[in-house]
Structure 1
Amino acid sequence: MRLRHKPYAKEKLEAYPHFVVPSPEEWKGRWAERFGNDKPIHIEIGCGKGQFIINMAKQFPAINFIGIELQTSVIVSALEKQIEEELPNVQFMQVDAKDLTNYFAPGEVDRIHLTFSDPWPKNRHEKRRLTYKSFLSVYKAILHDKGELHFKTDNQGLFEYSLTSFSHYPASLTHVYLDLHNSDVEDNVMTEYEEKFSQKGNRIYKAVIQFKA
């Protein structure tokens, strides 16, 4: 899907350094200071326009949330939601997921959310998939020993690929849902894509994993 360029986006992101972290590497190992508390930290990789992370933060005020998004014209929409809500437990970072060890100390993150990531369906793009083994190594490095990776998608091919990727890595699948919206899961918070695809009748898949030591 082609992104609509927003010429004001960069300037707006820079105008809100209290919401969009300007130098995230400076906070590595110190995110409790940034938030002003030692609550658990959950991050969403590819937070898009911010619907999921904003609603999660409202529903779970005892958790600190960090939304990570690389696209300027996308993350500015998430920022605009935060400007309206002014939630104390939400921050944003415009960085690449492959570099997360530059911004988080080992064990500093309690949960990672991968929500409707780009499936990169062509074989030559496998290494770009956020459940490829190199990304899993990054997640393991920053997650707490009992931390979890929560992965949701409507793309069956990506889901099957991801389950295989998880099985080849030292990790345990704790939950697998082949039809999330018709499961016993309560309080599921939906992303923009999740709402769109589920309204079309698409099945939503979810997996939860824990990495082994």
Structure 2
Amino acid sequence: MRRRKKKGSDEKLLSYKDFIVNGMIKQASPKDNSGDCTLFDYRILIEDEIYKDIINNYKGKWNIFFENENPIHIEVGTGRGKFITTLAKENPDINYIALEVKEEVLVKAVEKADKLNLNNIAFLWGNVELLDTYFDDDELDRIYINFCDPWHKNRYAKKRLTHHNFLELYRKKLKNNSEIHFKTDNSALFEFSLNEFCNNDWKLKNISLNLAKSSWTGNITTEYEDRYMNLGMPIYRLEAKDIR
């Protein structure tokens, strides 16, 4: 179903100039779009002012944005931001980037950071498929993926954020020995993800099939996660490290 955008959300989001980075780069389809294109093949990026700003001021320069050399952790699909703003508050020596394409929910996350007066977080309004444009190789220290769209039908498997195409993209952007932390409430997506990680040389640890009943401590929840845990639904979690 097509998403309904809330009028004025983009203007409100961009008004938070201390927090927001506009990564909504315009795209065009190639003239010849025949054949079995992969998720990352079909787009041509328009090199407009937004693109130039990302390339000139952010890609490979996020440490300059944060004015320090602290580790950089990113959450892809940050939603309303409870998870990452809590992490930022509890870990002032880590820099956080919240990536989200939906401006009407991202503005809620920015409002949380503004109220907490956080100075170690940035909000990147953009698309996870453009990580190669937003970041240099080996620029990130950790990636969080929380409750992403499971894309139930097999023909949409390439859209799942734990598909091996995405895992290769994350691998490029992560430093050596860095990790991906993944949570979902969808058992089929978790099974799919376990196989994708294992088949692509990621070492798994802290695997949980019911996070609330596990011995793992220190869990930071999302708004979505809170609702499911209150209903007694299992939450699946893993940590993955590149071992190639």
Q: Shorter chain as normaliser: what TM range? A: over 0.9
* 1:202 alignment partner, one of 222, 227, 233: 233
Question: Counterpart of 2:96 in 1: which secondary structure?
Answer: strand
Aligned 8 A contact 1:44 1:114 in 2 = yes
Stretch of structure 1 that moved more, 164-173 or 47-56: 164-173
The alignment status of 1:105 with 2:169, answered yes or no, reads no
The alignment status of 1:33 with 2:28, answered yes or no, reads no
Stretch of structure 1 that moved more, 182-191 or 142-151: 182-191
Name the count of aligned residue pairs.
Answer: 213
The alignment status of 1:187 with 2:218, answered yes or no, reads yes
Stretch of structure 1 that moved more, 174-183 or 51-60: 174-183
Equivalent AA in structure 1 for residue 90 of structure 2:
Q
Question: Counterpart of 2:193 in 1: which secondary structure?
Answer: helix
Which has more radius of gyration?
2
Cα distance in structure 2, aligned partners of 1:42 and 1:24: 18
TM-score (norm 2): 0.83
Cα distance in structure 2, aligned partners of 1:71 and 1:141: 25
Calculate percent identity across the aligned residue pairs: 41
Cα distance in structure 1, aligned partners of 2:147 and 2:113: 21
The alignment status of 1:77 with 2:126, answered yes or no, reads no
The alignment status of 1:6 with 2:37, answered yes or no, reads no
Tell me the alpha carbon deviations over residues 57-84 of structure 1, each in whole angstroms, 9 at most, x when there is no partner: 1111111100000111111111111221
Runs of 4+ off more than 2 Å: 1-6, 22-26
TM-score (norm 1): 0.95
Cα distance in structure 1, aligned partners of 2:242 and 2:80: 29
Structure 1 unaligned residues grouped into runs of 5+: none
Cα distance, 1:104 vs structure 2: 1.2
Aligned 8 A contact 2:20 2:124 in 1 = yes
Tell me the alpha carbon deviations over residues 10-62 of structure 1, each in whole angstroms, 9 at most, x when there is no partner: 11122122201134333111111100111110000000001101111111111
* 2:160 alignment partner, one of 129, 138, 142: 129
Question: Counterpart of 2:165 in 1: which secondary structure?
Answer: helix
Q: Which residue of 2 aligns with 1:20?
A: 20
Equivalent AA in structure 1 for residue 13 of structure 2:
L
